[in-house]
Amino acid sequence: MGVCQICRRQPAAEFTIRRHVGMIVVQKFVRFRGYLCRDHGIQASKDFLRKTLVQGWWGIISFFVNFYAVYTDLMALSKANKLGPPVGRPAHPQPPAFAAPLAPPPPPLPV
Ligand SMILES: [Zn+2]
């Protein structure tokens, strides 16, 4: 059993999470493989699944390939949910690499 490659906590398991982007004619495959704790495994699986469900269907071949990406993401999410809670303090209190970018600052208040 490894340690989470983001927060260095245990328990962690090896995950393979896929994302598919269909662009009518061309396709793009994104794959993450590495050790994650429960919290980061759930976060990454949901992030990949959400993007796949939006971006994966656009193309004739992509429509069918996307079912496989959705399946692997659901399996990763199920695997993450079965892990125990991570123990200890996170080694790096920074957001993971696959987190959504920070929101832009709010517009200035009207005067
Ligand atoms: Zn972690």
Q: State the 10-residue block means of pLDDT for the chain, 111 residues long.
A: 89 94 90 94 95 92 92 96 89 61 66 67
Distance CA 7, CA 18 (A): 21
Distance CA 71, CA 39 (A): 20
| pLDDT for 108 | 75
| pLDDT for 81 | 95
Q: What's the CA-to-centroid distance between 40 and ligand 1, angstroms?
A: 5
Distance CA 49, CA 70 (A): 6
| pLDDT for 100 | 55
Residues forming a β-bridge with 37 = 12
Distance CA 61, CA 19 (A): 15
Q: Which residues surround ligand 1, an ion (CB under 5 A)?
A: 4, 6-7, 37, 40
| pLDDT for 2 | 87
Sequence ranges of the domains in the chain: 12-82
